[in-house]
Amino acid sequence: MANLLIKNIEIVTMNEKNDIFVGDIYVEDDLINQIGENLPISHADKVINGKGRTIIPGFVQTHIHLCQTLFRGKADDLELLDWLKKKIWPLEAAHDEESIYYSALLGIGELIQSGTTTIVDMETVHHTDFAFQAIAASGIRALSGKVMMDKGNEVPKNLQENTIESIQKSVDLLEKWNMYDQGRIKYAFSPRFVVSCSEELLKEVSRLSNLYHVYVHTHASENRGEIEIVEYETGMRNVTYLDHLELANERLILAHCVWLDEEEKRIIKEKKVNISHCPGSNLKLASGIANVPNLLDQDISVSLGADGAPCNNNLDMFNEMRLAALIQKPFHGPTAMDAQTVFKMATIGGAKAVGMGNEIGSIEVGKKADLVILNLNDFHTYPMFDVNPISRIVYSATRADVETTIINGKVVMENRIMKTMNKEDVL
Ligand code: GUN
Ligand code: FE
């Protein structure tokens, strides 16, 4: 592996003190080895001149469906259950090995280009091995898994699995991919949502996630129609039911959670369950607006995700951050979701949600080098040099401002006007 030195760059650390300063970062193999001023370039294989640029921790998106990338534009203007039945499930059923692979690769390209370095991803019921191959080839950090669906009147027969088979296929994929590339890839059990999963399946997922110590990633309390079905069938609300099946713990990620009752919030808080807030998707599917300020006030873990491409038409974290901030302000006042809070959810908050708070999510010595270099000198911010870069990033940056993305110390995207140099050029 190569060693990398990034010189004279504005560093948004997201460490405990939220330090922001201009300095150098030295990356050795996959780790941030040194942060300081005038670091020697003698050991660096590659030097990046960061002058006038800003470096941030790579974004962590805690809810993505790579298998849905190709469906963009094919599933608009519907609510969740109709959207699934009429559009998404038939499209997922039509996937083959190649289309899954390229769907995943296309989504990952978009994510990396817009500064996301870690994802929690959910695939469809079949061909998930090909999505893992795309994840492996791309260099992105991911927790991913095969969707599990073994019941539901509305689920098409060609997507419905037998319970045992669903579990066996998941375990086979787990054994193949969990901890691949020194843990860059991890398996996460992905029962789709309570509506499509039997009690037997969910109980087994609970047992296996404890046995293998892996995450469980599912949707919960997203849409009123979905909640009605769950209440009718189980007599409980989503989170109460998942807790009843012993799934509520710190390794559970619940996407959406728009409509939580007090009991559900109590369980989430007590059991340290993680919520993935997907503001773009919640708006486009007309699901509602989650009361995130209220969740954060209770110290509940809330991170961000773009959901699938057809849920909001892009996988861009800049978009999600801006929406997360803006949609709350009319209800909770202008300071409710300030830029710092939202940026934290997108970086260190997401890192903690995936159990990697000590490894990613901030720029600190000893952490993995998952870094994104931005050029914020665009006309819409220039020349406000005294403005906090976090405010610029949350309220006005776009994916076009991303110049370089580094994951595990490896430059995975480098383009536009970013100037990279050989050692000799800097000497
Ligand atoms: N609930 C169950 N499946 C899905 C899905 O694919 N997307 C979203 N947004 N919600 C779901
Ligand atoms: Fe989703």
Q: How far apart are CA 326 and CA 408, in angstroms?
A: 32
Same domain assignment for residues 288 and 366: no
Ligand 1: residue of 88, 103, 258, 282 to mutate (most ligand atoms within 8 A of CB) is 88
**pLDDT band at 416; cut points 50, 70, 90:** low
Same domain assignment for residues 402 and 271: no
**pLDDT band at 43; cut points 50, 70, 90:** confident
Q: Which CATH number covers residue 414?
A: 2.30.40.10
pLDDT score for 419:
31
Give the residue from 353, 381, 408 where a domain finishes.
Answer: 353
Is the shortest distance between the CB of 401 and ligand 1 below 6 Å? no
4-39 pLDDT per residue, tens: 999 999 999 999 999 999 999 999 999 999 999 999
376-404 pLDDT per residue, tens: 886 555 555 667 899 999 999 999 999 99
Is the shortest distance between the CB of 84 and ligand 1 below 6 Å? yes
90-103 pLDDT per residue, tens: 999 999 999 999 99
For the whole prediction, is pTM greater than 0.90? yes
Confirm if 67 and 75 have CB atoms less than 8 A apart.
no
Q: How far apart are CA 342 and CA 164, in angstroms?
A: 41
Same domain assignment for residues 260 and 375: no
Same domain assignment for residues 322 and 204: yes
The answer on pLDDT for 193 being more than 50 is: yes
Q: What is the extent of the structural domain holding 179?
A: 59-353
Same domain assignment for residues 84 and 158: yes
The share of the chain scoring above pLDDT 70, in percent, equals: 95
Other Cβ atoms less than 10 A from the Cβ of 380: the count is: 12
pLDDT score for 380:
58
First to last CA, the chain: 23
Is the shortest distance between the CB of 307 and ligand 1 below 6 Å? yes
Same domain assignment for residues 53 and 134: no
Sequence-ordered list of residues with C-beta below 8 angstroms from that of 383, at least 6 positions apart, any chain: none
360-373 pLDDT per residue, tens: 999 999 999 999 99
pLDDT score for 161:
96
Same domain assignment for residues 48 and 92: no
180 in helix, strand or coil? helix
Q: Which CATH number covers residue 120?
A: 3.20.20.140
pLDDT score for 1:
65
* CA distances, 370 to each of 27, 111, 115, 149, 268 (Å): 10, 13, 10, 34, 29
pLDDT score for 312:
80
What average pLDDT score do residues 299-328 get? 96
Same domain assignment for residues 201 and 265: yes
pLDDT score for 140:
95
The answer on pLDDT for 418 being more than 50 is: no
Is the shortest distance between the CB of 193 and ligand 1 below 6 Å? yes
The answer on pLDDT for 42 being more than 90 is: no
Give the residue from 334, 353, 372 where a domain finishes.
Answer: 353
Asked if the peptide bond before residue 383 counts as cis, ω within 30 degrees of 0, the response is: yes
What average pLDDT score do residues 305-334 get? 95
**pLDDT band at 427; cut points 50, 70, 90:** very low
pLDDT score for 313:
84
- What average pLDDT does the chain have? 94
Same domain assignment for residues 252 and 153: yes
Same domain assignment for residues 201 and 63: yes
- Name residues with Cβ closer than 5 Å to ligand 2, which is an ion: 307
ipTM score assigned to the predicted complex: 0.99
Same domain assignment for residues 302 and 377: no
Q: Compute the distance from residue 301 Cα to the ligand 1 centre, in Å.
A: 21
Same domain assignment for residues 248 and 374: no
pLDDT score for 2:
82
Give the residue from 353, 384, 408 where a domain finishes.
Answer: 353
Give how many domains the chain has, as a whole number: 2
Confirm if 387 and 423 have CB atoms less than 8 A apart.
no
